[in-house]
Amino acid sequence: MSMRGRGLAFGAVLTAAALTLTACGGDSDDTAADPAGGTVNIFGSQPQNPLVPVLTNETGGGNVIDNLFTRLVDYNPETAAPELAMAESIEPSEGNTLWTIKLKPGWKFHDGTPVTAESFVKAWNDGANCNTGALNQYFFGPDGVNIKGYDAVAGTYDAEGNLDCAGIEPDAGMEGLKVVDDTTFTAELAGPVSIFATIVGYSAFAPMPEIYFTDRPAFEAKPIGNGPYQFVSAKANESIVVTEYPDYQGEKKAQVKDINYKIYQTPDAAYVDLLANNLDVIDTMPATALAGDRWKTELGDRSILKPVGVFQSVTFPLYVEEFDNPELRKAISMAIDRESVISVAFNNTRTPADGWVPPVIEGYQPGACGEACTFDAAKAKQMFDDAGGFDGTLTIAYNADGGHKEWVDATCVSIKNALDVECQGKAYPTFAELRNDVTEDKMTGIFRTGWQMDYPSMQNFLAPLYATDAGSNDGGYSNPAFDTLLRDAAGQTPEEAIASYQQATQLLAEDMPVIPLWYGALTAGWSENIETPVFTPFGRVDWTSLKLKG
Amino acid sequence: MGAYTLRRILQMIPVVLGTTFLIYTLVWALPTDPFAGRCGERPCPQAYVQLMTEKFNLDDPLPWAYLQWLGGLFTGNLGETYTGLLVWDQVASAFPNTLKLATVAIMFEIVVGITAGVFAGLNRGRFIDNLVLLSTLALISIPVFVLGTTLQYLLGIQFPIFSPTVPPGAPWSSLILPGFVLGALSMAYVARLVRSSILENMRSDYVRTATAKGLARRRVIGLHVMRNSLIPVVTFIGADFGALMAGAIITEGIFNINGVGNLVYRGILNQEGALVTSVVTLFVLIFLVVNLIVDLLYGFLDPRIRYE
């Protein structure tokens, strides 16, 4: 099922196919010599879009795309740090506005055609072009790497707010991208982006083979990439099969020949199949297995609970006057007993949030949120009354299709007990209906929000969510000082940038536009057929770690 | 009878048109933009939304959009889902699975249900009768998901007699357990229906007459009692077949059967109008055809009913 079904917010799809697996340690030479064999069955979900990188922004398709395509960088399976994959080097100019990318030579797509600088440039231009209608279009623009000339191909808005692609050729490219030679290209940006090399590991930045541009239906029927696995077959709502690509040029080799993404009607059915060893990997336990820690009892050491780059929160509609008071917002935050809500509603499979950036991200500061995220009923009540209290009933809006009722109710109970104010959950039937009202600024009370990282950077947890008028700034927060810090960070070295982001986080702690609730964790399990796999901070299984038992 | 059948078939046309229009209207009347939730916490890029809106005629007035869909239906093109898959492909892969599942369930109803009912009815008050009454009471009172997950755990994992889930392609042998779970409730109803029907008919005048004129008990029961007792059962099973196909969603979910129940459920969640309308139209057609068959069967079972 998609992340929507689970109700998790996701910025977009995750790229987890990390290349440097060191778990094999000393005997890595032996393993490399072993021919890969067998099939591993992984819990999958039906992709929501054709298997095209710029069209894929959810886990069902993203898991497959990750195996089919290798991008310029990959993320380390343990630390999520970006590591060069197809790129030999990615060098910035002074000020981070011009990036020179050199590719490793000799790479080929699954159809035998070479992967060149052109393959990247054309693919990125296609993703940004208005006519493509790509779901990941914004990653090329100001919300992402901000390539110069993006505006000219992304389309213009007419007076009624409709986008107009007229006058933009379908193959029109961005001015900032230039092919130097077969293995070199440059990207000139409209403004500095210090984390360019991190962002381009996201799946939307994959190179595309010529057939994608000349015969799109053929490509969609049989996607062709440059990754460790190549596409074999897909049967709607049943399975997607990929097999090892023998000519793969990456440093890491597959240890299993075929991967079969088995698509389940419900996660419960998948769990039962895991118990019966018909399925080898599940990366999200169903609620029924979490209840009473059933999964730990039944799977024992074949299960893992591991923090991932997910942040869950509730957001205040700052356009509603009653909530336009930081002290009131902090009081409500302080009134939430995160520990007990997590224990009641999640069987302790979450970590109480003490800030706006999860611990798996470099630059995480323990206790960034300060006392406002530490439960203290008496102090919260005091602050609440000092701030003028709240007339009527507080509501927390959520989507009923994502299993949120339990924690919303528990959170309300906590608020009610601490602040002596009425609090109720407000259910929207579907995620789409909730988001519809959120984006149209129609919310009247607090609502649930969340974020799953697109790429591992503090920037990804701050800029899209709290910068003025940013794409996912749902509450309408605006603080010029915050915006300035983020702009500064974009032109700084990575270390300086982290300091700026941490400063920006302090502004969030003062303003409390969004209440941090908890950080997500992966609840995964595997069968008796395979060796212990590695799960990434993106919440996915690392393909290099998949290996059948002896 | 030919004329009657023809008339019934002609009557189906307005019914199908009317229901599809209603369903189409309801699906598309949902106030929400179907692309509001597709990009998580971000609004989708406008370029994507406009491309999809155009592709799926979402901006056209409803009657016109309906006519376009209907036109597609008659030319065998049911359209695409937002995920880029053909609706026809999805229905074609899911429908046979549900049909097989419902068939297995019906077989349980017929074989087990009727047999149990007959034995209970003929042995009123004895052990077998009490056993049937008690076990059917148990089946009726257990919700299907409890029965399904329990049996799946017991017979699929603890004592692995059956595969706990149904593999792709849904081979018949893998459908025995899900079929039993799906048909269990109706099986219990059928048993009780047959039992009471038989009890009632055993006391009727024509049975006494038949016995009085010296017919063998075997023949009295086999020919007279059974035939008349089966009329209500045929109605029930007929109507149930449609209900089983459309209502298998829980069973399909538990045993991971790629069937139409889950297809339409996902379609509703994702506001896939073309998919939902197509599948529901199929349900309507099934109900209509099954009803017709049931009505025609009456004519054979009950001599008092004859169609001109």
Closest residue to A138, CB basis, from B45, B51, B258: B45
Report the pLDDT averaged over residues B142-147: 92
Maximum C-alpha span of chain A: 70
Confidence (pLDDT) at A184: 96
Residue position matching structure tokens 């998949």? A546
Confidence (pLDDT) at B138: 93
Phi/psi for A473 (5° steps) reads -80, 80
What is the residue-wise DSSP string for chain B?
-HHHHHHHHHHHHHHHHHHHHHHHHHHHH-SS-TTTTTTTTSPPPHHHHHHHHHHTTTTS-HHHHHHHHHHHHHTT---B-TTS-BHHHHHHHHHHHHHHHHHHHHHHIIIIIIHHHHHHHHTTTSHHHHHHHHHHHHHHHS-HHHHHHHHHIIIIIIS-SS-SSPPTT--GGGGHHHHHHHHHHHHHHHHHHHHHHHHHHHTSHHHHHHHHTT--HHHIIIIIIHHHHHHHHHHHHHHHHHHHHHTTHHHHHHTT---HHHHHHHHHHTT-HHHHHHHHHHHHHHHHHHHHHHHHHHHHH-TT----
CATH class of B89-258+284-301: mainly alpha
Confidence (pLDDT) at A26: 35
Torsion angle of the four alpha carbons B271, B272, B273, B277, in this order, in degrees rounded to the nearest 10: -120
Write out chain B residues lying below 8 Å of A220, CB-based.
84
Kindly tell me if the per-residue pLDDT of B160 is higher than 80. yes
Report the pLDDT averaged over residues A339-362: 94
Confidence (pLDDT) at A16: 32
User: Terminus-to-terminus CA distance in chain B, angstroms?
Assistant: 6
- Among B150, B224, B225, B212, CA closest to B181: B150
Nearest CA-CA distance, residue B35 and chain A, Å: 7
Closest residue to A3, CB basis, from B40, B153, B164: B40
Joined tokens for residue A242:
């990929």
Report the pLDDT averaged over residues B260-264: 88
pLDDT class for A28, splitting at 50, 70, 90?
A: very low
Write out chain A residues lying below 8 Å of B164, CB-based.
272-273, 275-276, 278
Confidence (pLDDT) at B308: 55
Phi/psi for A50 (5° steps) reads -55, 155
Closest residue to A235, CB basis, from B93, B253, B254: B93
Kindly tell me if the per-residue pLDDT of A8 is higher than 60. no
> How confident is the model over A370-392, as pLDDT tens digits?
999 999 999 999 999 999 989 89
pLDDT class for B231, splitting at 50, 70, 90?
A: confident
Joined tokens for residue A212:
């994608």
Report how far residue B86's alpha carbon sits from residue B53's, in angstroms, rounded to the nearest whole number. 17
Closest residue to B254, CB basis, from A5, A154, A269: A269
Confidence (pLDDT) at B234: 85
Residue position matching structure tokens 């010599």? A33
Kindly tell me if the per-residue pLDDT of A136 is higher than 50. yes
- Among A155, A116, A120, A121, CA closest to A138: A155
* Cβ of residue B165 closer than 8 Å to a chain A Cβ: yes
Kindly tell me if the per-residue pLDDT of A27 is higher than 70. no
C-alpha neighbours within 13 Å on the C-beta side of residue B164: 24
SS3 (DSSP) at A381: helix
- Among A452, A459, A509, CA closest to A483: A459
Contact B51 A12 (CB under 8 A): no
Nearest CA-CA distance, residue B233 and chain A, Å: 33
Indicate the angle between helix axes B87-108 and B226-246, nearest 10 degrees.
Answer: 150
Report how far residue A524's alpha carbon sits from residue A282's, in angstroms, rounded to the nearest whole number. 5
Contact A50 B84 (CB under 8 A): yes
Domain boundaries, chain B: 2-87, 89-258+284-301
Kindly tell me if the per-residue pLDDT of A545 is higher than 70. yes
| Range scoring the smallest mean pLDDT among A225-239, A246-260, A407-421, B68-82 | B68-82
Contact A439 B36 (CB under 8 A): yes
Confidence (pLDDT) at A102: 97
Report how far residue A56's alpha carbon sits from residue A60's, in angstroms, rounded to the nearest whole number. 9
pLDDT class for A279, splitting at 50, 70, 90?
A: very high
Report the pLDDT averaged over residues B12-28: 86
* Gyration radius of chain B's alpha carbons: 24
Nearest CA-CA distance, residue B46 and chain A, Å: 6
Confidence (pLDDT) at A21: 31
According to DSSP, residue A548 is labeled B
* Cβ of residue B41 closer than 8 Å to a chain A Cβ: yes
Strand partners, A157: A163
pLDDT class for A23, splitting at 50, 70, 90?
A: very low
Report how far residue B12's alpha carbon sits from residue A328's, in angstroms, rounded to the nearest whole number. 62
| Range scoring the smallest mean pLDDT among A112-116, A238-242, A402-406, A423-427 | A402-406
Confidence (pLDDT) at B16: 87
- Mean predicted lDDT score pLDDT of chain A: 89
Nearest CA-CA distance, residue B70 and chain A, Å: 24
Whole-number Cα distances in Å, A216 to A50, A127, A128, A219, A221: 11, 14, 17, 5, 9
Confidence (pLDDT) at B72: 83
Residues 6+ apart with CB under 8 A from B40: A3, A4, A9, A10, A11, A12, A57, A58, A452
| Range scoring the smallest mean pLDDT among A82-91, A185-194, B257-266, B291-300 | B291-300
Confidence (pLDDT) at A542: 94
C-alpha neighbours within 13 Å on the C-beta side of residue A210: 8
Joined tokens for residue A53:
């990188």
Residue type, A233: S
Report how far residue A281's alpha carbon sits from residue A273's, in angstroms, rounded to the nearest whole number. 10
Q: Give the pTM.
A: 0.86
Confidence (pLDDT) at A161: 67
Phi/psi for B22 (5° steps) reads -60, -45
> How confident is the model over A55-84, as pLDDT tens digits?
988 888 999 999 999 999 999 999 899 999
Confidence (pLDDT) at B142: 92
Nearest CA-CA distance, residue B250 and chain A, Å: 10
Contact B40 A276 (CB under 8 A): no
Contact B163 A157 (CB under 8 A): no
Nearest CA-CA distance, residue B229 and chain A, Å: 40
Residue A484: Cβ within 10 Å count: 12
Residues 6+ apart with CB under 8 A from A307: A351, A358, A359, A360, A519, A520, A521, A522, A537
pLDDT class for B307, splitting at 50, 70, 90?
A: low
Report how far residue B246's alpha carbon sits from residue B158's, in angstroms, rounded to the nearest whole number. 31
Report how far residue A433's alpha carbon sits from residue A36's, in angstroms, rounded to the nearest whole number. 46
- Mean predicted lDDT score pLDDT of chain B: 87
Torsion angle of the four alpha carbons A149, A155, A160, A161, in this order, in degrees rounded to the nearest 10: -70
What is the residue-wise DSSP string for B41-70?
TSPPPHHHHHHHHHHTTTTS-HHHHHHHHH
pLDDT class for B286, splitting at 50, 70, 90?
A: confident
Kindly tell me if the per-residue pLDDT of A157 is higher than 80. no
Asked whether the beta carbons of A451 and A11 are under 8 A apart, the reply is yes
Asked whether the beta carbons of A357 and A462 are under 8 A apart, the reply is yes
> How confident is the model over B165-201, as pLDDT tens digits?
998 888 999 999 999 999 999 999 999 999 999 999 9
Asked whether the beta carbons of A434 and A402 are under 8 A apart, the reply is no
According to DSSP, residue A255 is labeled S
| Range scoring the smallest mean pLDDT among A100-114, A438-452, B288-302 | B288-302
Report the pLDDT averaged over residues A308-312: 94
Strand partners, B109: none
- Which site among A135, A202, A240, A466 would you substitute to test the B interface, given the most B Cβ atoms closer than 10 Å to its Cβ? A135
- Among A259, A159, A189, A128, CA closest to A540: A259
Asked whether the beta carbons of A75 and A16 are under 8 A apart, the reply is yes
pLDDT class for A186, splitting at 50, 70, 90?
A: very high
Confidence (pLDDT) at B89: 87
Kindly tell me if the per-residue pLDDT of B126 is higher than 50. yes
Joined tokens for residue A17:
């196919």
Confidence (pLDDT) at A36: 59
Kindly tell me if the per-residue pLDDT of A453 is higher than 50. yes
C-alpha neighbours within 13 Å on the C-beta side of residue B247: 15
SS3 (DSSP) at A482: helix
Kindly tell me if the per-residue pLDDT of A29 is higher than 80. no
Confidence (pLDDT) at A491: 86
Confidence (pLDDT) at A34: 47
| Range scoring the smallest mean pLDDT among A63-77, B118-132, B281-295 | B281-295
| Range scoring the smallest mean pLDDT among A416-425, B172-181, B214-223 | B214-223
